[in-house]
Amino acid sequence: MERQVKTPIRQWGRLIYRYRWAVVTAWVFLICFLGFFAVRTPSLLHDSGFVPTGSSSERGITFLENKLGMSAASLDIVLESTSGENLTTSEAQNRIWEELAPLRAQSFVQDMYPSIITRRPATDDITAFTVLLKETSSEALGHFEDIKAAVPQVSGTHTYITGNLAVYHDMSSAVKHDLVRAESFGIPAALLILLLLFGTLPAAVLPIAVGLGSVAVTMGSLYFVAAQGISLSNYLPNMVTMLGLAVGIDYALFMVSRFREELRSRTIEEALSIACRTAGRSVLYSSGAVMAGLLALCLIQLPVFRSLALGGMMVVLASVLASSTLLPALLGILGHRIYAWPVRFRKKPGVGSGGSQAWIRVSEFIMARPAVIAIVVAAALLAAAVPALNMKLGIPSAEVLPPTYTSRYGAELMKEAYDMKEANAIVIAVEFGQPYQDPASIRLMKSYTSKLRNMSGVHRVESYASFLKEDSNVISKELQTEVERLHVAKGNAAVIGVVPENGESDPATVRLVQELREHPPQGLRSFYVTGSPAYKLDIMDRIQNSIPYVLVTVLLLTYMILFAAFRSVILPLKAVVMNLLSLGASFGLITLVFQQGYGADLIHVSYTGSVFAILPVLIFCVVFGISMDYEVMLLSRIAESYGNDRNNERSTAIGLQRTGGMITGAALILAVVAGAFMFTDNELMKALGLGLTASVLIDVTIVRILLVPALMKLMGRANWWLPEWLSSFARIKPEKVQEDSHRSI
């Protein structure tokens, strides 16, 4: 039994209309103030956010820094001869060493030496030097341009700076470049679509203004967060821009469309009130679904996910606030001028209120054969998801950048000239109960390293005991000095290097790391397995162990939000299942492109073979919520019509006719905004852009237009089923709007 009451959201539109000028003035001030800081935010973001805080690998790194004085930050200077000269000769090495003397003299340099990694044959024209810094990574990134300037250009060579620090710096540079590139394409394309949809300039410009304003407010707010020393990922600006423009424009599009429709037969204040009550309500539920997905990212114990969740939730909140306050105020000021400055793309401006003949024919086609359409579409989506079953996850480093960046090209030269298994060796940090030079410590080290050499998957083992003769447990003063200079042992601490037979991400190497951790030697105070293989394993474990909780959280919260919106048991469940189908298809496409390389050249993907490990869960959380926007908009229209005449088939047809063009336009806008990031320099943002674009286009063209109406027809009144014991949740219906039967939303 439905009850009719007046609700606060009904009065919201009238309240905004009454104070429209004050609302706009406040927003203009806020956008200008925070926009001033927004452009400075990317310069404060240096970290990638992939530190598995508290893990064995992270604690091991801290142990080595504190106990052995190992540098927290380092660089690799890679030199490539311009003439094919052999750079490994004593003469060439001495000349290079002299030319690098100004770098060694810098106050931030702790040590520098030729790379100790085993060389590959026939690569004598490439050489590398390792530079250890006295600073932490954050300190070094704060003045990395000065560090780069201090590296001299060695005569007769091309000089490249690589290593994690250089990659992080280049990623920050790529973020700034990518934002400009994506916005310069995405915003004009979105404006063009809006002009095609509405046919008038003011109606097209308003959603763009809301989207840009939301991004500016969010980025400006994040400046003050980063300025407090809180570490935020350098992926954050891309995420905020992509998501802010996408949802900000979409939410505003729904509001403007409904306002224009109501304005044809009502006063400005009445039209605004109804738009806020209907489209505004849908925006609130849609944003709730997006927020649920972003909130679930916080369950993964990695800073990158928490950074993206924070930025994402802030920009969605800003978009909702702007769509609920700034936009209605602007609409109230414009009034009938929303139809001014028509752009002659079409005979009649705007999205027709009666539904186009094309959507009527689509509706009739679906209603005539719902079972066939549902089976064919579901089968096609399942088939498209098949490649995702073989998805291989990985964690690239320099590979996230194209070879045009010096850090990526330098890394490729390192792979060409050196055995990178040594550079990416497993590192074991140990703490004895007595000094490392004590005979008991030496015996324990020799015994353990001997055991390590006999383990499967181990290529070589090195420690300070490797300098001693097999029958000797005494270390000379000279050797102690050399060992401590190399930061191999000091006090009660020592380090062991384990070079695996396979690559750092190979399953055999992963098993080796796990076995080392499961069987620590007896007699040690502390024992940590770290190094690149262990570090990446800890990241993967953090992600994979959190996935069940993320899935349950997203699905449960989304179901609850949709249940609150539609007061039905079946509709939310159906929406969740269909979202999973469209997501599976997009995962299949990502696997084909980024792992198997199909079409990779079209979007300039330079690294294939695996999918970045954070992508599946990130795309799931972001896309699941955004896709629900269209589900909510379509079902809201269907539900409102069903509430008027209780005719499921007619309500479904009206919903499709009324929202088909608007939802398609909104999806195209999101596709061009997100799709613009497919052509940026960052491989993560390319994949996120592709995944978001593919998911939304599949969702709108196949799921919402075909599958949703077909299932609505098949299930009939069961769509609206609410058990008796849940009858207390039956919708409290707002005071009915006096509309003719042909304008049910």
pLDDT in tens, 209-236: 999 999 999 999 999 999 888 888 888 8
- The span from the CA of 194 to the CA of 208, in Å, is 9
Higher pLDDT, 71 or 739: 71
Q: Which residues pair with 133 in a beta bridge?
A: 73, 109
Write out the DSSP string of 275-287.
HHHHHHHHHHHHH
* Interval 281-305 mean pLDDT: 88
Q: Is the pLDDT of residue 132 over 50?
A: yes
Tokens of 27: 């927003």
pLDDT in tens, 583-631: 899 899 999 998 888 888 888 887 778 888 888 898 888 888 787 777 7
Q: Is the pLDDT of residue 733 over 70?
A: no
Bridging pattern class, strands 393-394 and 611-612: parallel
Q: Which residues contact 163 (CB under 8 A, 6 or more apart)?
A: 74, 75, 76, 407
pLDDT in tens, 556-574: 988 888 888 777 888 888 8
pLDDT in tens, 21-47: 999 999 999 999 999 999 889 888 877
Contact 554, 293 (CB under 8 A): yes
The whole-chain average pLDDT of the chain stands at 85
Name the DSSP class of 736: P
Q: Which residues pair with 490 in a beta bridge?
A: 493
Amino acid at 613: A
Percentage of the chain exceeding pLDDT 90: 36
Q: Is the pLDDT of residue 142 over 60?
A: yes
Q: Which residues pair with 78 in a beta bridge?
A: 128, 160
Point out the least confidently predicted range of 197-201, 222-226, 644-648: 644-648
Q: Is the pLDDT of residue 351 over 50?
A: no
CATH top-level class for 357-395+546-723?
mainly alpha
Note the pLDDT of residue 628. Answer: 75
Higher pLDDT, 336 or 658: 336
Which residues of the chain are in CATH 1.20.1640.10 domains? 1-50+199-343, 357-395+546-723
In the CATH scheme, what architecture does the domain 1-50+199-343 have? Answer: Up-down Bundle (1.20)
CATH node for 72-197 = 3.30.70.1430
Q: Is the pLDDT of residue 81 over 70?
A: yes
Note the pLDDT of residue 8. Answer: 59
Q: Is the pLDDT of residue 170 over 90?
A: no
Note the pLDDT of residue 727. Answer: 62
* Interval 485-508 mean pLDDT: 90
Note the pLDDT of residue 1. Answer: 38
Note the pLDDT of residue 667. Answer: 83
CA 638 vs CA 142, 264, 332: distances in Å: 54, 22, 27
Tell me, rounded to whole angstroms, the distance of Cα 183 from its chain centroid: 17
Write out the DSSP string of 385-426.
HGGGGG--EE--SGGGS-TTSHHHHHHHHHHHHB-HHHHT-E
- The span from the CA of 370 to the CA of 712, in Å, is 9
* Interval 185-210 mean pLDDT: 90
In the CATH scheme, what architecture does the domain 414-537 have? Answer: 2-Layer Sandwich (3.30)
Note the pLDDT of residue 484. Answer: 86
Q: Is the pLDDT of residue 544 over 60?
A: yes
pLDDT in tens, 255-283: 998 899 888 888 999 999 988 888 888 88
